[in-house]
């Protein structure tokens, strides 16, 4: 009998039709749910939801450490109020107990409610919260959308792909096959900023991108190995690496998105395979729970 890994796909906003609600990540959900083992049993059991009422503890996140979930994929799409203190505390306890955690956000201060998450929150840099310690990076990159300030790295149009640079040694998250790196991720006109916390030896940057606006290199992902701090984790520069609109622009987007989309992901040989393999790698890697027991 199968015992699928239980994954929670979760946004930090209430269900709002004209926003990045969880329904806009349906292709990710469908792909993970479709994966089967050698006996044709599902590998993953997927729950996808938006948060409960803003300003109150979320009924699931605030009790995550006592739930049956093995992984949390958190899409921080809020403007600063997406997580209650009780949510952050329970998510931090969840990882401390060995749970797998992927946390992603976007430009400027979008998703800054994640700053207080234990360990992984420190890997996310924002405009006015936990600012990037490398001061020269705190400047406007994408100038095509003037109202969006830094961090806003321009990796390409929504619907296109960016060529990424895996950092040696090649991390399992970025392996297309053993020893062969994947090279493509979805692009986005204004990605956020991530970096490895200096006081956490379990964390390292595993891939960088290159801005099409400035030529500047920027971090795409920070991986946290299992340690005394808890289970494995991943800090991602933008939730647009996982959104339907970036995988297939015909799926639509909120009305406030003003940039014209591209179609590079659909037309670039190997790009779709690379993107799907990346999310498969995340689910598999986060599911390998082998943390050092967390001290009481």
Domains of the chain plus CATH, in order, are 5-286 (3.40.50.880)
The two tokens of residue 186 are 């979805």
Structure tokens given for 286: 């986060």
Closest-CA residue to 192 (of 237, 160, 133, 142) = 237
Length of the chain: 296
Quick: pLDDT tens for 179-199.
999 999 999 999 999 999 999
What value does the mean pLDDT take over residues 92-113? 97
pTM of the entire predicted model: 0.96
User: Do 100 and 72 contact (CB within 8 A), yes or no?
Assistant: yes
Q: Mean pLDDT score of the chain, rounded to an integer?
A: 95
20-42 pLDDT, tens digit each: 999 999 999 999 999 999 999 99
3 state SS of 231: coil
Question: What's the mean pLDDT in 245-263?
Answer: 98
Q: Which residue do the tokens 């959104």 mark?
A: 243
Instruction: Please give the average per-residue pLDDT across 54-83, as a whole number.
Output: 97
| Rounded Cα–Cα distance for residues 32 and 280 (Å) | 7
Q: Tell me the C-alpha distance between 189 and 251, whole Å.
A: 18
Return the residue matching tokens 């659909």.
266
**Which tokens in the block code for residue 10?**
């979760």
List of long-range contacts for 272-276, beta carbons under 8 Å, 24+ apart: 272/247, 273/176, 274/161, 274/176, 274/182, 274/183, 274/184, 274/185, 275/161, 275/184, 275/185, 275/186, 275/241, 275/247, 276/31
Would you give the DSSP letter of residue 185?
A: E
The secondary element (H helix, E strand) that includes residue 246 is helix 244-247
The C-alpha atoms of residue 226 and residue 164 are separated, in whole angstroms, by: 25
């Amino acid at each position: 009998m199968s015992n699928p890994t239980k994954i929670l796909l979760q946004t930090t906003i209430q269900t709002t039709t004209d926003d990045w609600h969880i329904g806009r990540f349906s292709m990710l959900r469908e792909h993970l749910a479709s994966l089967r083992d050698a006996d044709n049993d599902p590998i993953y059991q997927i729950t996808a939801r938006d948060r409960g009422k803003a300003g109150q503890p979320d009924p699931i996140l605030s009790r995550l450490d006592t739930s049956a979930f093995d992984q949390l994929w958190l899409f921080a799409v809020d403007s600063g109020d997406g997580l209650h203190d009780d949510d952050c505390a329970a998510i931090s306890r969840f990882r401390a107990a060995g749970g797998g955690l992927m946390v992603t956000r976007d430009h400027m201060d979008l998703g800054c409610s994640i700053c207080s998450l234990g360990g992984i929150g420190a890997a996310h840099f924002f405009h006015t919260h936990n600012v990037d310690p490398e001061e020269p990076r705190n400047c406007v990159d994408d100038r095509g959308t003037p109202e969006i300030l830094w961090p806003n790295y321009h990796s390409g149009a929504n619907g296109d792909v960016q060529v990424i640079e895996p950092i040696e040694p090649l991390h399992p998250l970025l392996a297309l096959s053993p020893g062969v790196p994947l090279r493509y991720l979805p692009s986005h006109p204004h990605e956020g900023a991530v970096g490895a916390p200096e006081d956490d030896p379990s964390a390292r940057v595993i891939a960088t991108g290159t801005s099409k606006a400035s030529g500047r290199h920027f971090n795409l992902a920070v991986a946290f190995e299992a340690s005394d701090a808890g289970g494995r984790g991943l800090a991602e520069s933008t939730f647009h690496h996982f959104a339907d609109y970036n995988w297939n622009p015909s799926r639509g987007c909120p009305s406030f998105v003003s940039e014209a989309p591209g179609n590079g992901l659909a037309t670039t040989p190997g790009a779709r395979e690379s993107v799907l393999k990346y999310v498969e790698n995340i689910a598999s890697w986060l599911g390998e729970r082998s943390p050092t027991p967390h001290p009481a």
